[in-house]
Amino acid sequence: MMTFKFIHGLVFLALMAGVFASGPSVAAPGDVENGEKIYMKRCVWCHGEEGEGDGPAGDLLVPPPRDFTSGLYKIKTSPFDEDFPNDDDIFRMISDGMPGTDMPAWKDILKNEQDRWDLVAYLKAFAELEEEPGTMVDYGAPVATSVESIAKGQKLFHDGERCSECHGQDGKGDGIKKLKGDNGERTWPRNLTKPWTFRASNDTKDIFTRISTGIPGTQMPSFANPKSKTMLSVEERWHVANYVNSLAKTDKTVRAVNTVVKANRIEGDVPSDPDDPAWDTAELTTFMMVPQIFEKERVFTYTNDTITVSAFYNDKEIAMLLEWDDRTRSIPGDPNIDKIADKVPYEDRVSVQLPVTIPEGTQKPYFINGDTENPVNLLSWRSGTATSPESVSVANATGSENIEERDAANFGLMAKSAYKDGTWRVVMKRPLSTENAQGDLQLVEGRFIPIAFANWDGSNSESGTKHSRTTWYWLLLKPANSAKPYILALIVAGIIFGGLLWWAKAARRNGEV
């Protein structure tokens, strides 16, 4: 009863808050002075004292903080031919932040809505914006998602390379154009299969709005502009939005509970080709990667944020499939890559880190390349250059300064890769046990073995310590199903049933006496 009342109270309060809060954009124009006060405490670090996006963090952030003096905002609902956003748009970005960037959502710390409206007023003052446009994109009659609508959208997406020119055939942002933002900074088309990187969101309405307005300050154009050859009607834009929304890769998203790469046992040979159909039945685990900002030399800008891993093993070998989205296939010396890379690229690379011995207690090697007491094995694959094929390497490390290359052929490491439409898929294969039992991890069934991954995007000038990586997770060679648990369960149930019967019988006999 208590809780019921309590919940009622909450609902009532929330309603009241809604009533009072729903109008400040009209009722209470932002107080620029209060906005400035908050700005100087919370926003100045990135957006700078004069709002030019040149705070101390300035050039370390990709994308760079917005320069408010231009008055251009990426996420707006005003029609494409209005330069400036509506106040609600600015308010929304301050409240909800921009996923995939350093711009956080402020509503949990600036709980008072009026504070956020005051910030809107202050930001607008940087560009001397006054009246908001007050008009919205024409949404027409929204088209609900359906197989037909998605198919129509897919066609429009690829027609004359309308979107795929930049966003790639599969939407992974691997188009072949080199793009720049208005301030000359390098920008990449969004990977549309990764909804967590959308600055607004991947709701169809949001996607519809972005297609209609474009993204000001970047090369993402408006498709509502009748002057454009690639213009789309309102209905067509809904179809495209439904298609883009359907691209989200739900089987390859990071879930905090998934910390184990589960290798399934198979009969016969383990698949050694990335295109082997056996991989369709593997269990996928996706990990988040972060740029190496822990040791010298650090890297702050990175391009690959997740890696998906699956594995199979048999009596002798384990094969691991590593998949990650990479907009560029970095093959140094290949003219195609020189066209899109900023600098002369390095090779793309991925590496798997394993401790040399399975830890008995909780202590593991340091998560970056181990430490003096606890060495690691590093198994790497490199994409090759125009003159040399892809290659593998094995190293033992006791810290980032102590990485000792070894003979990969002797170790028995093999790899095979495939690159298609913005995704690398690399199979690495190694024997479960090696001759050098002191220096190499010997893989055994049923044990939780620490494992970590590192990834280099060569076109992003990543090499050596400049890369992205995961922390320690687990590898488990899943034991094949056995009948033991079933048999034991039957025995226990049988014994208890027998015991009960015996008790009842004994009781009845007593009763008769």
Residues that bind ligand HEC (CB under 6 A): 42-43, 45-47, 57, 61, 63, 65-66, 73-75, 90, 93-94, 98, 101-103, 106, 119, 123, 162-163, 165-167, 179, 187, 189-190, 192, 198-200, 207, 210-211, 215, 218-221, 223, 240, 244
| Amino acid sitting at position 276 | D
Query: Pattern of binders to another protein over 488-507, x per CB under 8 A?
Result: xxx-xxx-xx--xx-xx--x
Nearer to ligand HEC, 129 or 397 (CB): 129
CB of 403: closest distance to ligand HEC in angstroms?
Answer: 33
**How far is the CA of 319 from the CAs of 235, 274, 385, in angstroms?**
47, 10, 24
CB of 128: closest distance to ligand HEC in angstroms?
Answer: 16
Member of 4, 141, 510, 513 binding another protein (CB under 8 A): 510
What is the Cα–Cα distance from 378 to 405, expressed in whole angstroms? Answer: 9
**What are the structure tokens assigned to 147, written together?**
């197989």
* Bridge partner residues of 380 (DSSP): 351, 393
3-state secondary structure of 133: coil
CB of 58: closest distance to another protein in angstroms?
Answer: 9
- For residue 106, state whether it binds another protein (rule: CB under 8 A): yes
**What are the structure tokens assigned to 465, written together?**
């310590």
Residues 222 and 204 sit within 8 Å (Cβ to Cβ): no
- Residue 259 interface partner, choices ligand HEC, another protein, none, CB cut-off 5-8 Å depending on type: another protein
Nearer to another protein, 155 or 364 (CB): 364
Ramachandran assignment for 166, one of left (phi > 0), alpha (psi -120 to 50 degrees), beta (any other) = alpha
Residues 188 and 171 sit within 8 Å (Cβ to Cβ): no
Question: Please, which of residues 437-496 interact with another protein by CB under 8 A?
Answer: 446, 448, 470-472, 474, 476, 478-479, 484-486, 488-490, 492-494, 496
* Bridge partner residues of 177 (DSSP): none
CB of 458: closest distance to another protein in angstroms?
Answer: 21
Residues 67 and 58 sit within 8 Å (Cβ to Cβ): no
CB of 328: closest distance to ligand HEC in angstroms?
Answer: 15
Residue range at the interface with another protein (CB under 8 A); choices 39-47, 66-74, 159-167, 324-332: 39-47
- For residue 272, state whether it binds another protein (rule: CB under 8 A): no
Member of 2, 26, 109, 147 binding another protein (CB under 8 A): 109
Query: Pattern of binders to another protein over 335-374, x per CB under 8 A?
Result: ---------------------------xxxxxx---x--x
**How far is the CA of 371 from the CAs of 356, 363, 401, 511, in angstroms?**
11, 11, 10, 74
- Residue 56 interface partner, choices ligand HEC, another protein, none, CB cut-off 5-8 Å depending on type: another protein
Q: What is the DSSP letter of 124?
A: H
CB of 144: closest distance to another protein in angstroms?
Answer: 31
Nearest one of 213, 178, 242, 189 to 77, comparing CA atoms: 213
Member of 127, 260, 266, 432 binding another protein (CB under 8 A): 260
- Residue 312 interface partner, choices another protein, ligand HEC, none, CB cut-off 5-8 Å depending on type: none
Nearer to ligand HEC, 74 or 172 (CB): 74
CB of 18: closest distance to another protein in angstroms?
Answer: 24
Residues 448 and 474 sit within 8 Å (Cβ to Cβ): yes
3-state secondary structure of 363: coil
User: Cβ neighbours of residue 109 under 8 Å, at least 6 residues apart?
Assistant: 42
E strands, 130-185, in order: 179-180
CB of 23: closest distance to ligand HEC in angstroms?
Answer: 21
* Pairing of the two strands 349-355 and 376-382: antiparallel
Q: What is the DSSP letter of 141?
A: S
- The site for another protein, by CB under 8 A, has a size of 67
DSSP states of 2-45 as a string? HHHHHHHHHHHHHHHHHHHHS-HHHHS---HHHHHHHHHHHTHH
Nearest one of 324, 382, 349, 366 to 450, comparing CA atoms: 366
- Residue 250 interface partner, choices ligand HEC, another protein, none, CB cut-off 5-8 Å depending on type: none
- Residue 470 interface partner, choices ligand HEC, another protein, none, CB cut-off 5-8 Å depending on type: another protein
Member of 32, 125, 254, 278 binding another protein (CB under 8 A): 254
**What are the structure tokens assigned to 168, written together?**
């790639």
3-state secondary structure of 279: helix
DSSP states of 423-446 as a string? EEEEEEEEESS-S-TTTSPPP-TT
Nearer to another protein, 9 or 56 (CB): 56
- For residue 7, state whether it binds another protein (rule: CB under 8 A): no
**What are the structure tokens assigned to 161, written together?**
């390379």
Contacts to another protein by CB under 8 A? 41-42, 45-46, 55-57, 60, 100-102, 104, 106, 108-109, 254, 256-257, 259-260, 262, 287-291, 293-296, 300, 362-367, 371, 374, 446, 448, 470-472, 474, 476, 478-479, 484-486, 488-490, 492-494, 496-497, 500-501, 503-504, 507-508, 510-511
